[in-house]
Amino acid sequence: MNRNEYKRLAERRAGRSPVLRNCLAAFLVGGGICLFGEALTGVYLLLGAEEKTAATLVTVTLIFLSALTSALGIFDDLARVAGAGTLVPVTGFANAVVSPALDAKSEGAILGVGAKIFTVAGPVLLYAILGGAVYGTLLSLFGWLA
């Protein structure tokens, strides 16, 4: 079988992706996560938190719930249905940290979890820190972007 034959065979077997359904599911789930975050903000404000504190508490709550649902296997089931809708930044990032750690837990706390926990999120953290350092250096040296 040559390359073109294989390509035709793969295209026939793959079928068509339900793009409209996938986009709608991503929109609804991602929007639902954001709506839940806004509702949490309202709850924390009603409980007497200042606006900045409420925003921090919402972030911490969403990270905790994402990590918990990842550990329970619920997040992956939701991601299968919602696709990119679960990648709302804080929830997707929490899942990206927890999932590799869960996969490696059988290898032990140090060589498993400790070594694998940042395999997905590590590059994001590295370049965020590097970008912040470059920005901070330029800002303090030249007063740029002030």
Q: Specify the pLDDT at position 21.
A: 92
DSSP structure class, residue 107: G
Q: Specify the pLDDT at position 96.
A: 82
| Residues in the chain, pLDDT under 70 | 144-146
Q: Contact 55/37 with Cβ under 8 angstroms? A: no
**Does 8 fall in a domain?**
no
Give the global pTM. 0.70
Task: For residue 99, give every residue at least 6 positions away whose Cβ sits within 8 Å of its Cβ, in sequence order, or none.
Answer: 70, 76, 120
**Does 126 fall in a domain?**
yes
Q: Specify the pLDDT at position 144.
A: 64
Cα gap 96→48, rounded to integer Å: 32
Instruction: List the domain range (segments joined by +) for residue 121.
Output: 18-142
**Does 6 fall in a domain?**
no
For 71-108, the pLDDT digits (tens) are 898 998 998 888 888 888 788 888 888 888 777 777 77
**Does 81 fall in a domain?**
yes
Q: Specify the pLDDT at position 83.
A: 86
**Does 2 fall in a domain?**
no
Amino acid, res. 9: L
Q: Specify the pLDDT at position 16.
A: 79
Q: Specify the pLDDT at position 4.
A: 87
Q: Specify the pLDDT at position 23.
A: 93
**Does 5 fall in a domain?**
no
Residue spans of beta strands (DSSP E) within 40-104? none
Q: Tell me the Ramachandran region of residue 144: left when phi exceeds 0, alpha when psi lies from -120 to 50, beta otherwise.
A: beta
Q: How many domains does the chain have?
A: 1
